[in-house]
A and B are shown apart, each in its own frame.
Chain A
Amino acid sequence: EVQLVESGGGLVQPGGSLRLSCAVSGFTFTQYWMSWVRQAPGKGLEWLANIKQDGSEKHYVDSVKGRFTISRDNAKNSLYLQMDSLRAEDTAIYYCASHTNDYLGGFWGQGTKVTVSS
């Protein structure tokens, strides 16, 4: 059974940091690009970043570039999102997702909630 399990969300003050994790099982993690996608309360989906199978290539949306860093540990079948300089507008549910058939979204995690508030 394929499982993507996010963790690391929570309440953080503006300007603070969080590190999200996504533990993957049930498929060959090393074969796929991986992405982070978020959804602010009552809003639509926003793609944030993705990373190539070997970590050699990464892409970000401008709104998080320079503040968020995507990484992966293939030995641990895990994806990460280091989030620094957090803002109130970063409040959202954060999902990890695989790129299967060369497109985002074949498998998704259940999401982890991040709240940025003082």
Chain B
Amino acid sequence: DIQMTQSPSSLSASVGDRVTITCRASQGIRSHLGWFQQKPGKAPKRLIYAASSLQSGVPSRFSGSGSGTEFTLTISNLQPEDFATYYCLQHNNYPLTFGGGTKVEIK
């Protein structure tokens, strides 16, 4: 199985900050990666698919990059509604596997 390692596992940031979350795959997954946001008690919401394609309706302050084994989710100009947990998901091999999550908290 492909292991997805997210870092950091948590971070504290302020409104207006630029935040970067990294996801590393244990083997190459081309660009078959998605990013999800989850708030407490809610279903996940997809932000990015195919490593860098922005999901319809998602603000442009969210962006994704990377291919192969290293991927990044960047949130520019962090907003109050962005405080949540973020997960990556590899879609290249079965079983599909999520990263462990990154909790973004208010500083």
Contact = CB atoms under 8 A, between A and B. Distances in A.
Interface in A31-80: 35, 37, 44-47, 50, 59-62
A106 interface: yes
A60 B96 CA distance: 9
Main DSSP-derived SS at the B contact region: loop
Interface in A91-118: 95, 97, 101-106, 108-111
A108 B44 contact: yes
Interface in B90-107: 91, 94-101
A44 B10 CA distance: 13
A38 B60 CA distance: 29
A26 to B, nearest CB: 14
**Does more than half of chain A's interface fall in helix, strand or loop, or is it mixed?**
strand
Interface in B4-62: 32, 34, 36, 38, 43-46, 49-50, 53, 55
Nearest to A107: B46
B43 A47 contact: no
Contact of A103 (B91, B98, B101): B91
Interface residues of A, number: 23
B95 A44 contact: no
B73 interface: no
Interface in B64-107: 87, 89, 91, 94-101
Contacts of B36: 45, 105
A45 to B, nearest CB: 5
Interface of B: 1, 32, 34, 36, 38, 43-46, 49-50, 53, 55, 87, 89, 91, 94-101
Interface of A: 35, 37, 44-47, 50, 59-62, 95, 97, 101-106, 108-111
Given A44-B87, A46-B98, A47-B96, 13 more contacts: A44-B100, A45-B44, A45-B98, A47-B89, A59-B94, A62-B1, A95-B44, A97-B44, A102-B50, A103-B34, A106-B46, A108-B45, A110-B43
